[in-house]
Amino acid sequence: MSLDKILSVSGKPGLYQIVTQTRTGAVVESLIDKKRITVGAHSNISILSEIAIYTLTEEVPLRDVLKKVKDKENGQPTSISHKDSKDTLEEFFFEVLPDYDEDRVYPSDIKKVVQWYNLLQKNDLLGALETEEETNSSDEEE
């Protein structure tokens, strides 16, 4: 399962994976409770593979940030909760991405990254980070 098939739906908690596409949108399944819902094309949907985090020099793809969190936590759930204090979240994120832009990356963004990482870890979807990188590098070699 790649990050291209995992998305965030505005106004709905957690992450969803695409089950099937319909004429007017898609049927998605929650990674939290496995319930399926239909989201229309008018819904505000963010596909994880298209999200990036601002740093002082560039935008880092979410895939790379999640991989850094995975390396820091040795593939285990994060040592902090997305409900921890703003200072705790910022301190954790500074260890993961030292040059993130503190003016443009809000505590609410850090909360989402921590929560999303833990959801992906719980659902054994962190392997998608490795597979996509290997796929990308093998494409470049050809």
Q: What is the pLDDT of residue 126?
A: 87
Q: What is the pLDDT of residue 138?
A: 40
Residue 131 confidence class, pLDDT cut points 50, 70, 90: low
**pLDDT higher than threshold 50 for residue 137:** no
**pTM of the predicted model as reported, rounded to 2 decimal places:** 0.86
Mean pLDDT of the chain: 89
Domains of the chain and CATH, by start: 3-48 (2.30.30.730), 51-141 (1.10.10.1650)
Counts of helices then strands in the chain (DSSP H, E): 4, 7
Render pLDDT for 79-99 as a digit per residue (tens, 0 to 9): 999 999 999 999 999 999 999
Render pLDDT for 26-74 as a digit per residue (tens, 0 to 9): 999 999 999 999 999 888 999 999 999 999 999 999 999 999 999 999 9
How far apart CA 59 and CA 51 sit, in angstroms, is 9
Closest of 85, 93, 87, 86 to residue 116, by C-alpha: 93
Alpha helices (H) along 1-142: 62-72, 86-96, 107-122, 127-141
> What kind and span of H or E run contains 8?
strand 6-9
Q: Say which amino acid occupies 82.
A: H
